[in-house]
Amino acid sequence: MTNKTTARDALGPADKRILAGIHFMNGDEAIAEGAIAAGCKFFAAYPITPQSEIAERMARRLPQVGGVFIQMEDELGAMAAVIGAAWGGVKAMTATSGPGFSLMMENIGLAVMTETPCVVVNVQRGAPSTGLPTLVGQGDMMQARWGSHGHYEIIALSPWSPQEAFDLTVKAFALSERFRVPVLIMTDEVVGHMYERVEIPEEVPVAQRRKPKVPPEEFLPYKPEEDLVPPMACAGEGYRVHVTGLTHDERGYPAMDPDTHDKLVRRLCEKILRYRSEFTWYEEIMLEDAEVAVVSYGISSRIALGGVELAREKGIKAGLLRLITVWPFPDEAVRRVAERVKGLVVVEINLGQIAREVERASRGIVPIQGVFHAGGRIHTPEEVLAGIEEVLKCRQ
Amino acid sequence: MPAVKPKSKPRPEVLPGVRHPMEKYLRTDRLPHIWCSGCGLGIALSSFLYAIEELGIDPNKVAVVSGIGCSGRFAGYVKMDSYHTTHGRAIPFAVGLKLANPDLNVVVFSGDGDLFAIGGNHFIHAARRNADITVLCVNNFNYGMTGGQLGPTTPPEARTTTSPYGNFEHPFNLVYLAASAGATYVARWTTLHARRLKESIKEALQHPGFNFIEIISPCPTNFGRRNRLRDALDEMRYYADKAVIQHGVDPAGAEVVPGKEFIVGKFVDVRKPTYLELYRKKTEELAARFG
Ligand SMILES: Cc1ncc(C[n+]2csc(CCOP(=O)(O)OP(=O)(O)O)c2C)c(N)n1
């Protein structure tokens, strides 16, 4: 079955949560479809290039599936509305690009602290500031990590194709419910605007929210279960919970003491770190016999693959470690690869953000060559090849 | 056995054995509250609770959303689903909450700084959309929580910690702002008018769309003390003296000017399709067109 997804056709029957079939769509649209297929019922955002196609598609699609789209007055409001909607009992998402991502930071912290499941998409463009609104960048990777104030853990996924944008959006919703945490999709302008084949399966799992198992009198809204995640009682369910961004105890009540604070912050981190191996996704390509490993993610990893192929043609044993989960950083995967090769090359559209993590994770046991570009264009495979050759020189 | 040291301070019993009649709506295990004596927030809170009680609204279907500030602590004391969000963002949070679960009666309780300085943009847009929420703003003419700084409602020449020589900025007239942004129910009371305030909250809770009540409150610790209204009672006496009850007045002329009489009452009470009503209409049209 082939579904054309022209604007008109997309206005199909209201029960069309999953547009099963083969589509030709861009990464932004694939994210929107992934969200709707995953059961997202609320989307709040403010338009920004190169995210607008997500918002536009959500505006068209959500009313068809009984959901709500609202264009907010700014990204501060969009992020706040998403958190509110999540507490109203639905799956909620927002999408933006760099400037809006900056505005969302405070409330991303609120979502972390209040353990609110939600999905935040950043279609990265050239930055800092207004930068290159229509052109690609990957400069928000560190902001994704710790852009909101305070110490916390977050989950961030980075797709390299529209198909993966769809798949990861579905997974992002599942992770957000599983860990009660905002999950970030750190994509970029090129993946967002690139049209490719996207296959939407007949069935897409809808993650269930963890609900209280005891009556309201016995319920402690921030008492975690064994896996450190507490069940969530949403508004109107009779549990009358108090939810605050202040440091709080298991009752959800503010508690202004260092012990409660330490306990809470550690749990918020630990609930993710303890289970990170379950969702540390990466792909190893041609690494078995590799002497040089290229580490990359998102659109850059696709170019990096081209560079690796060029190197192989020249007889250089190169391979690719493609990061899909970027945060928490896949330390172990990087270290294991570093132990096997003579050098690492990091390709990214910034001047070395993930490269720092690669250096940290590999503990400096091999030289690292950065192939960096500040933004506005993707790399060429030749630049990646040059990086591979360069790092081999270091060794000699 | 060694004596166990109680973790929290013993609760002071002002009238031994006497309980607050609205206690069932309060998180009594969080009392005493953090508000200063003489503050009007307690009156605003009890007016709200009496309104819920008298309307017979199921408290399980009421959600209270606050921002940050003394007024923002409101959410922490009501025994309902209550959300203490970020500074300025109570309204968009409430908008999301209401759209996700339209069965809820969503009430925003916050301060003048929270709603009109850092959160001003959300206020005007929620009013413009006629979003289905009720916003209760406790206006104490300054930033109470952070130590009494200048706010968007601080009157001319008033002294605050950041206007030590007297305020020279023009303040907002909140009821005018709300009305012109599109609010369909707009009223102003002071915490002296507890009963009228309660009746007004009852009206707002039943009125569809975006409802706004400004609740003028004393802040003896931070505002009164620096502005020749040393005691809360002085400020209450001042309101008794200067507040003129009048309904249906044009809010444009209803500024609160120090030393002059000011209007309290209901300014706007009109019916206009709400955000949710319009959204539903749209989706029904869509369903009819495309099945
Ligand atoms: C983003 C941000 N900026 C500043 C603050 C500090 N802050 C906390 S409460 C407050 C002012 C509150 O004033 P108002 O809303 O009038 O409430 P009141 O305390 O007077 O009831 C400020 C500035 C904050 N919490 N967050």
Backbone CA torsion sign across A378, A381, A382, A384: positive
pLDDT of residue A15: 55
pLDDT band at residue A84 under the 50/70/90 scheme: very high
Residues with CB under 6 A from ligand 1: B 68-71, 87, 111-114, 138, 140, 143-146, 151
- What confidence category does residue B9 fall into, taking pLDDT thresholds of 50, 70 and 90? low
Q: Is B83 within 8 Å of B63 (Cβ atoms)? A: yes
Angle at Cα A270 formed by Cα A269 and Cα A274, nearest 5°? 130
Fold assignment, A6-200? Rossmann fold (3.40.50)
Among candidates B76, B92, B286 on the partner chain, residue whose Cβ is nearest the Cβ of A84: B92
Which residues from A are below 8 Å from B86, CB to CB? 80, 106-107, 110, 245
What CATH code would you report for B40-290?
3.40.50.970
**Alpha-carbon distance A207 to A187, whole Å?**
22
Share of chain A above pLDDT 70, in %: 96
Classify domain A284-393 at the CATH topology level: Rossmann fold (3.40.50)
Q: Is the pLDDT of residue A22 over 70?
A: yes
Residue B230: the pLDDT is 80
Residue B34 contacts A, CB cutoff 8 Å: no
Chosen for mutation from A42, A46, A73, A234 (greatest number of chain B CBs closer than 10 Å) is A73
A74 Cβ under 8 Å from any chain B Cβ: yes
d(CA A347, CA A364): 17
pLDDT band at B288 (very low <50, low <70, confident <90, very high): confident
Q: Could you tell me which chain B residue has the CA closest to the CA of A236?
A: B61
Q: Looking at residue A395, what is its pLDDT?
A: 58
Q: Which of A326, A251, A336 is nearest to A293 (CA)?
A: A336
Strands (E), A65-126: 68-71, 91-96, 118-126
Inform me whether the pLDDT recorded for A9 exceeds 70: no
Q: What is the pLDDT of residue A12?
A: 45
* Contact (Cβ atoms closer than 8 angstroms) between residue B27 and residue B76: yes
- Residues B51-107: tens digit of each pLDDT: 999 999 999 999 999 999 999 999 999 999 999 999 999 999 999 999 999 999 999
Nearest to A245 among B85, B101, B290 (CB): B85
Mean pLDDT computed over A339-346? 98
Output the CA A282–ligand 1 centroid distance in Å: 43
The domain locations on chain B are: 40-290
Q: Where are chain A's structural domains?
A: 6-200, 284-393
Which residue has a Cα nearest atom 20 of ligand 1?
A: B144
> pLDDT-derived band of residue A255, with 50, 70 and 90 as boundaries?
very high
Which atom of ligand 1 lies at the shortest distance from residue B67's CA? 15
pLDDT at A3 over 90: no
